[in-house]
Amino acid sequence: MNWYSPKKPAEIAESRLIQAILTGKFSINSNLPAERELAELLGVTRPTLREALQRLERDGWLEIHQGKPTRIRNYWEEGNLGVLSAIAQNPKYSPQNFVQNLLSVRIDLAPSYARLACENNPARLSQFLGELITLPDDPQTYTQADWTLHHQLTVFSANPIYTLILNGFRDLYLSMGLLYFSQADARRHSSCFYKDLLDAVNQNDPTAVETLTHCVMLESLQFWQKIDLNKNIGGIP
């Protein structure tokens, strides 16, 4: 059984404010309502609201100066990884093309951590990839396997920054992965990738691993663009 701790009032207030910012209810460079009014709108106490505001200031959503209204920052230009993680955890409110933009970043990052994984932990990587060769052909299995592969690649790379960045998008990755891997072509594409990646690792060829990963990440973005288009026109429920 999985146990989940209920959200604290400050976390609920923080989440509601993020959603209000992402939907434009509180627009960039506008000011939040006064503290008393905002606390009433959110249904929390003023101390709870202050805690939520401090967290949002830390991540780059807000600019707070004592005695002045609280400003909504241009979070795309002034925010940090906390903003990115929060958007990933609120996919319903994420901006258009957010997933495509993340996949574009993955094209830049994944080849590097895959190459490092091959250089630093080839035996462990080979063993792990060997377990992916005979996956059951269903979206759930492929989604979990693909997430685990990228997570392990970052771990085997011996650069924990890659892992921390990836972990910020776990829930979004698993959610969008189900849509992506609902396509049989996408599953076949990844299955071929796992086999070819295993061959490159067994040949102790980090350059081939890097090149292969770059090509496949680029092709994955192209797959997603087709899926996203179909979803927008009602082709996928």
Q: What percent of the chain has pLDDT over 70?
A: 93
Superfamily of segment(s) 96-232? GntR ligand-binding domain-like (1.20.120.530)
Q: What percent of the chain has pLDDT over 90?
A: 73
Rounded to an integer, the average pLDDT of 139-164 is 96
Buried b vs exposed e over 113-128: b needs ≥16 C-beta within 10 Å? bbbbbbbebbeebbeb
Rounded to an integer, the average pLDDT of 93-100 is 82
User: Which of the four CATH numbers 3.30.70.60, 3.40.50.720, 1.10.10.10, 1.10.1490.10 does domain 9-88 have?
Assistant: 1.10.10.10
Given pLDDT bands bounded at 50, 70 and 90, which one contains residue 4? low
The overall average pLDDT reported for the chain is: 90
pLDDT at 235 over 50: no
Angle of CA points 127, 143, 179, to nearest 5°: 160
Q: How many CA atoms lie within 13 A of 143 on its CB side?
A: 17
Given pLDDT bands bounded at 50, 70 and 90, which one contains residue 230? low
Domain limits, the chain: 9-88, 96-232
Given pLDDT bands bounded at 50, 70 and 90, which one contains residue 175? confident
pTM: 0.80
Q: What is the per-residue pLDDT across 138-151, written as a single tens digit (0 to 9) for each?
A: 999 999 999 999 99
